[in-house]
Amino acid sequence: MLALSGLLASCDTLRENKLLITTHVQTNQIEHPREVMKLPISGQEMIFKKSPEFSQRSISAFEPFVAENPEDGYGALLQLDTKGKDALMIASREYRGSVLLTMVNATPVDMVEIDQPIDDGRFTIWRGLTKKTIDEMDKFYPRLKYMKSSSRLMEGMLPSTDAEKMNSRRDAKAMEAAEKAAARDKERGKLPPVPKPRKDIIPLEGYKLPGTR
């Protein structure tokens, strides 16, 4: 518990976000004792690096889902930012065959075995999340389907800075609200407004170039 308390105090939080999500790689006892944490999991003691490979600060967007066993709560697909994507790629290559442990507020919730390199920055928490956790994540991160590129000039640029993530969430919430409003209008049989023709646009039909007959 002392090790977990130290971990909780040492990790950064995202603005006023009180939700701490960290992912740790399994290691061996060659590491310095202060750099590891020993946890009893499924009847055996497992050792993980105390320093996380990435935390909630690296999340750009997420998409929750009900766990395969509903008694296990929810899972979530995370899209990591550039820093988190690089960290996950390095860890998945260096520690292939090891286990990644995900913790929420210093409580273990899920483990996955690294069976192949992960290059797209997408990481899945398969189980262990509560509805309260999902609601808290919704306050800070956009859903994946609403996430847009952080650059107007380049597609696929992941929001990485706090400002970019804040703008991404704001735009995502606006898109989500518009989608819900359109669905409500459709249920009520209300047709979308017909855009008025712009007077400053010259119709092509019947238009002649200057100097032609």
Domains of the chain by residue range: 2-187
What distance in Å separates the CA atoms of residue 42 and residue 67, rounded to the nearest whole number?
Answer: 19
CA geometry: angle at 135 spanning 134 and 139, to 5°? 110
CA distances, 51 to each of 8, 29, 84, 114, 195 (Å): 10, 15, 14, 18, 55
Q: What residues pair up with 112 in beta bridges, in sequence order? A: 100
Which pLDDT score is estimated for 12? 40
Domain 2-187 has CATH 3.40.50.300: no
Which pLDDT score is estimated for 207? 52
Higher model confidence: residue 206 or residue 78? Answer: 78
| pLDDT tens string 43-60 | 889 999 999 999 999 999
**pLDDT band with cut points at 50, 70 and 90 for residue 149:** low
pLDDT above 90 covers a percentage of the chain that reads 48
